Structure 1
Amino acid sequence: MDILDHLTIPSPLHQVRTAWSAAAAIELYIKRDDLIHPIISGNKWRKLSGILSHYDKTTYREIITFGGAFSNHLVATAASCAILKIPCTGIIRGEEPKQLNGVLKLCEMYGMRLTFVSREEYKEHNRQLGIYEEKLFIPEGGACEQGTLGCFEVLREIELKEISKVFVACGTGTTIAGMSKFMDSTNDGTPLYGIQVLKGNGYIAKDLQDVYGIHNVTIYDEFHCGGYAKTSPELMDFIKEFTSETGILLDPVYTGKMMLAIKKLCISGDIKKGDKVIAIHTGGLTGWFGKVDEL
């Protein structure tokens, strides 16, 4: 069976209304890439799709990829390989724990073989990409030029006419790079904004320029809530409120920070009355496995 038979493509676009979006008098829409698949969701699928379509599937017999202990990419790859009936191995950063967390248990349930390596060894190999000895290596998070090709498709599924701004969370920049390439290909002038979810002034903006040659996006780097995978009481309270108001669950690592940033940009006036705003829900809800104690 084709993996696309398991996926909801294109994903829907839903308009949502909250107290703060109503107060700001904006129209807020969410591109529901979280609904592509319960596990292979959001930009996890988008990046994988670009990579898998780039390589001839008859030239490899196994997929090997990399990630941390709570990696959404790892479990999405494991689920994809189960559907595709391809053996897969996950190279995990750090020592093997006495007990696997929920994400790694899911990886095993989908048939992924887990190999734990030192942080030093991981850092040396985690960007490996390509086919070697009939094994397809996919870098951590699917972050590579081929990964951007799948993210190109996110905005192809949306009618952008009359849209004022598009927002997406950024961890590596791969997703927004693909979206930017789509904008360039269509000469669409809709402003594209990234919310950097990790510390580092100008980190994502610099990578976009140096790695992908992209200069036509705006990156906000002040909404990381303490750093990558870090949270704050303000963030967690916001996610709870947003979920109860809209029925849409955000994750605490990426989309929660993005949506909180959108709220704050409404308050600051960067997003103006009458603006029509699209936020990309990049999935990653398995990120809650490591954060439930903070609720």
Structure 2
Amino acid sequence: MKLADTPITQHQFNDIPFYLKRDDQLHSHFSGNKARKFMALLEQPLEHIDILISYGSVQSNAMYSLSALAAIKGWAFEFYVDHIPQWLAESPKGNYRAALDMGADITAVSELGLHPREFIEQVRQPDQHCLVVPEGGRFQHAEAGIKQLATEILSWTRFENASQFTVALPSGTGTTALYLHKHLSPHGIEVITCPCVGGKAYLEQQFSELGETHFPTILELATKHHFGHLYRQDYLTWYELQQQTNIEFDLLYDPMMWQCLQSWYPENQHKTLIYLHQGGLLGNESMLPRYERKFGLSPE
């Protein structure tokens, strides 16, 4: 399986010209930043492993990518969540549906009064035949695949005439942004991101826990943005992005980053922007109907 060398295409959104690194095109089942994070696990033999275990939200992009990884490796896959909404259990959609189709065993643990991570540690108690991946792939194994991504970006920039490149991407755990910064900043390429889960302080804490001391630039919106809430402006930004580029973006993360970029760009027009498309489109299968019910088929 070739998880490298995705194309870079040229676009414009409103008044912002940008290049788009199309990591959504890595592989039909194993794409985006999660594929980069888990590339090392895919390439290592790990012959002593029989069961892959992780945890997170019931619509986690990582859950689906890990289910694909387990299927490729021939492992069983257990994923632990806080709860599974009744409507979703009755009519699976998005990453939840796709992970089930891949053979994932998804278990809710909220009734036990434990966080999924605590349940794995205290109740499940994995043995030496289990591989436990932290939520969202926030672990040092992720660096190898993201370093490969940085190398691809560097190779492309060497053939372009622009003098100052900036790579932009939204952050959940921030793992991708952190390791891109680590491998691009020595070459004069700035990495900018925004904290989609929590605020700037929370994201910096996530960075620190991975053992790094130099961080990418963090942009924030002027108003509080609660993860997973429905905002008309998010829907409108997502809709306009698709109308202007003919490319579908992720509804959960990308709109916030593009709103930050619209505030950032007027003072940074001399920079050449490279936006990283991190996939995550299966999540739109569940998010889009929620937006349509609240705001209509078109947000305009």
Q: Residue 40 in 1 paired to residue 30 in 2?
A: yes
1:59 paired residue among 26, 35, 48: 48
State the match for 1:112 in structure 2: 104
**1:122 offset after TM fit, Å?**
0.9
SS at the partner of 1:212?
coil
Residues 196, 222 of structure 1: 8 Å contact kept: no
SS at the partner of 1:277?
strand
Residues 70, 289 of structure 1: 8 Å contact kept: no
So what's the TM-score if we normalise by structure 2?
0.83
Summarize the Cα distance change of 1:125–1:178 in structure 2 as closer, same or farther, 3 Å threshold. Answer: farther
Amino acid paired to 2:142 = G
Summarize the Cα distance change of 1:138–1:123 in structure 2 as closer, same or farther, 3 Å threshold. Answer: closer
Distance in 2, Cα, partners of 1:79 & 1:223: 38
State the match for 1:193 in structure 2: 192
State the match for 1:263 in structure 2: 262
State the match for 2:118 in structure 1: 124
**1:216 offset after TM fit, Å?**
4.2
State the match for 1:288 in structure 2: 284
2:92 paired residue among 98, 101, 107: 101
Unaligned runs of 5+ in 2: 293-300
Summarize the Cα distance change of 1:123–1:66 in structure 2 as closer, same or farther, 3 Å threshold. Answer: closer
SS at the partner of 1:58?
coil
Distance in 2, Cα, partners of 1:137 & 1:153: 23
| Cα deviation digits, residues 164-199 of structure 1 (max 9, x gap) | 311111111111122122125xx2111111111123
Amino acid paired to 2:114 = E
**1:223 offset after TM fit, Å?**
6.9
**1:11 offset after TM fit, Å?**
1.0
Distance in 2, Cα, partners of 1:288 & 1:101: 13
Summarize the Cα distance change of 1:239–1:284 in structure 2 as closer, same or farther, 3 Å threshold. Answer: same
Q: RMSD value over aligned CA atoms?
A: 2.5
SS at the partner of 2:131?
strand
SS at the partner of 1:11?
coil
Distance in 1, Cα, partners of 2:138 & 2:106: 20
**1:126 offset after TM fit, Å?**
6.5
Amino acid paired to 1:68 = S
Q: Residue 13 in 1 paired to residue 13 in 2?
A: no
**1:288 offset after TM fit, Å?**
1.1
| Cα deviation digits, residues 251-272 of structure 1 (max 9, x gap) | 1111222223222322xx2322
Unaligned runs of 5+ in 1: 22-26
**1:142 offset after TM fit, Å?**
0.9
State the match for 1:183 in structure 2: 184
Percent identity between the two aligned chains: 22
Residues 168, 280 of structure 1: 8 Å contact kept: yes
State the match for 1:152 in structure 2: 147
Distance in 2, Cα, partners of 1:284 & 1:265: 24
Amino acid paired to 2:177 = I
**1:224 offset after TM fit, Å?**
8.1
Amino acid paired to 2:37 = K
SS at the partner of 1:155?
helix
So what's the TM-score if we normalise by structure 1?
0.84
Distance in 2, Cα, partners of 1:33 & 1:64: 25
| Cα deviation digits, residues 129-181 of structure 1 (max 9, x gap) | x9833111111111111123222222211233434311111111111122122
Deviates more, 1:55-64 or 1:174-183: 55-64
Summarize the Cα distance change of 1:82–1:107 in structure 2 as closer, same or farther, 3 Å threshold. Answer: same
**1:56 offset after TM fit, Å?**
4.1
